[in-house]
Amino acid sequence: MQHFLSTQDWTKSELDQLLLAAKRLQQSPWNERMRRRSIALLFFNPSLRTRTSFELGMHQLGGHAVVLQPGKDAWGIAFEESTVMDGSEEEHMKEVAGVLSRYCDLIAVRAFPKGQDWLVDRQDLLIHHLAKYSQVPVINMETILHPCQELAFIMALQQRIGSVAKKRMTLTWTWHPKALNTAVANSALLIGTRFGMDVTLLIPEQAYALDEQFMQQAHSNAQASGGSVEVTTNIEQAYRDADVVYAKSWGALPLYGQVQEEQKLREPYRHFIVDEAKMSLTNNAVFSHCLPLRRNVKATDAVMDSPQCMALEEAENRLHVQKAIMLKLLNA
C-alpha cells in the first residue's frame, strides 16, 4: 500500500505518470472509476481550493467525499504513542485511522504545524501516525509539505513552457502580516529540483532559510536531476533571467513560535513583494503562487493580472492531479 505524503517517496517516473494521468483527466474529467469508493477529508485548518477540488474530483470519478473538521465539527485528535489523554483531545489517531479505514477507501488530511516548536513540527508526526495506523492510503493535503500543490504547479508550468529541466526558477520569500507555514516553500524547492530546474531561493536574510532536511533533499534531487540549488539574499541577482518566479511567505524558523520577535524581524522586508520592476529583470518569466494570496502584499495587482500569472491554472490543476493521485493509490 502506497501513501501520498511527499513527492520524495515517489519515483520521478511515477510522478511523470501522475502528471500524464492528470492531463488526460483535464481533457476527459468524468468517469466511474471510483464508483463505490469514498474518501474522508480531514481538515484541521481552513480550505477553499483543496476542499472543493477533492470533493468535486471524487464526485467526477463516481465516488463520494466526506468532509470532517476535527476539533470543530468532529473531535480533537491526539496522536503521540502511549500518551495519557487527559488534555483537550478526545480521541487518538489509532481509533480515527482505524474507524475511517473501515468506512472509507482513502483518507486525506490537512494539518498545519502547530507553530510552537519547530523541532516537533518538523517531524510531521500527525500525518505519519495517520499513515502508520491507517489500513487505507493516506494523502497529504498540506502539513509541512504540500505535495498535491507541487504536481499542480509542475503541470501548469509544463503546459506554459514545455519541458522544465534546466529552466531558472526563482522561489522568492515575500512579506506577509503573519508568520506562515513553510510547507509550500519546502514543496516548491523539492519539486523544482526534482524536475531538474535551476532553483534560486531568495530570502531576505539567513533566518528565513528553509529547514535543513528539505535543503538536503533539494541538493540530492538536483544532483540526480541535473538541476541546481542556490540561496541568495540579492533580489536583483535572483530575478535576473529567471524563467519562473514562485512566491511564498513564511516565518523565520529560528524565531518559530515567537510571534512578536519574528514580526519585528520581518518588518523591514515588505519590498520583497513581486512587482513589475522585479519581473522586468526576468526572462519574461511566468509567475505563480499557491493561493490564497494577499494582493499588493505578496504580489501587485499588475503581476497578478498579467498574462504571465498562472496561479489560476495551477489552482485548476489541483483538481486534475488529485484525481490522478486517488486513482493511482487505489489502482482504479
Does 49 contact its own copies by CB under 8 A? yes
Decide if residue 312 touches its own copies (CB under 8 A).
yes
- Minimum Å distance from CB 292 to its own copies? 3
224 binds its own copies (CB under 8 A): no
Q: Where are the beta strands (DSSP E) in the chain?
A: 38-43, 64-68, 77-78, 91-92, 106-110, 138-140, 168-173, 198-202, 228-232, 244-248, 286-288
Compute the least distance from the CB of residue 204 to its own copies, in Å.
17
Binding mask 274-303 for its own copies (x = CB under 8 A): -----------------xxxxxxx---x--
Q: Among residues 2, 20, 32, 83, which is the contact residue for its own copies, using CB under 8 A?
A: 83
Q: Does residue 330 contact residue 58 with C-beta atoms inside 8 Å? A: no
- Determine if residue 291 is left, alpha or beta; phi over 0 gives left, psi from -120 to 50 gives alpha, anything else beta: left
Give yes or no for residue 84 binding its own copies (CB under 8 A): yes
The answer for residues whose C-beta is within 8 angstroms of residue 265's C-beta and 6 or more apart is 205, 207, 252, 255
Residues 159-218 that bind its own copies (CB under 8 A): 177
Rounded CA separation 302/300 (Å): 5
Separation CA 303–CA 259 (nearest Å): 30
Q: How far apart are the first and last CA of the chain?
A: 13
Among 175, 182, 170, 173, which Cα is nearest to 211's?
182
155 belongs to the binding site for its own copies (CB under 8 A): no
Q: Is 90 in the site for its own copies (CB under 8 A)?
A: yes
304 binds its own copies (CB under 8 A): yes
Q: Using CB under 8 A, which of the segments 30-38, 154-162, 217-225, 279-287 binds its own copies?
A: 30-38
> Please, what sign has the CA dihedral across residues 129, 135, 140, 145?
positive
Tell me whether strands 106-110 and 77-78 are parallel, antiparallel or unpaired: unpaired
**Does position 38 bind its own copies by CB under 8 A?**
yes
Total of chain residues touching its own copies, rule CB under 8 A: 61
| Selected binder of its own copies within 62, 75, 219, 263 (CB under 8 A) | 75
Q: Determine the Cα–Cα distance for residues 71 and 231; give it in Å rounded to an integer.
A: 39
Measured at the CA of 181, the angle between CA 210 and CA 175, to 5 degrees, comes to 80
Stretch that binds its own copies, among 98-106, 115-123, 146-154, 160-168 (CB under 8 A): 98-106
Binding site residues, its own copies, CB under 8 A: 30, 36, 38, 40, 43, 46-49, 51-53, 55-56, 59-60, 64, 66, 68-70, 72-75, 78, 82-87, 89-92, 94-96, 98-100, 102-104, 177, 291-297, 301, 304-305, 311-312, 315-316, 319
